[in-house]
Amino acid sequence: MDMQIVTETLRGKVGEQSGLNAILKFDCGVDGVAIIDARATPNTVDNIDREADCTVALPLATLADLLTGALNPTTGFMMGKFKVSGDMSVALKLQRVV
């Protein structure tokens, strides 16, 4: 799964109102970023890097696993598959989206 497919998949999952009420960044390093702006109405998903309330740093393959359901977010975090920085309450709401 490439970043374009990840972005489209996130758009479908987030919809117009995700309930996150924050800006969440998935930082995949050299592969790019996916930003969910859940403060905007309707919610938006794009690849323009900017400040976020919460950042999830992970490889693109791990993000793809989260989006396809191959990896549970809680399990992935506990196993150290990704790192979360910023507002942890936003990260906890992540299960609503992925």
Q: Hey, what amino acid is at 27? A: D
pLDDT of 22-63, one tens digit each?
999 999 999 999 999 999 999 999 999 999 999 999 999 999
Q: Which residues, 6 or more positions from 40, have their beta carbon under 8 angstroms from its beta carbon? A: none
Backbone φ, ψ for residue 35 (5° rounding): -115, 125
Q: Which residues, 6 or more positions from 53, have their beta carbon under 8 angstroms from its beta carbon? A: 22, 23, 24, 86, 87, 90
The overall pTM is greater than 0.85: yes
What is the length of the chain?
Answer: 98
pLDDT of 74-83, one tens digit each?
899 999 999 9
CATH of 3-96, one of 3.40.50.11810, 3.40.1160.10, 1.10.3720.10, 3.30.1050.10: 3.30.1050.10
The sign of the dihedral angle between the CA atoms of 69, 38, 32, 1 is: positive
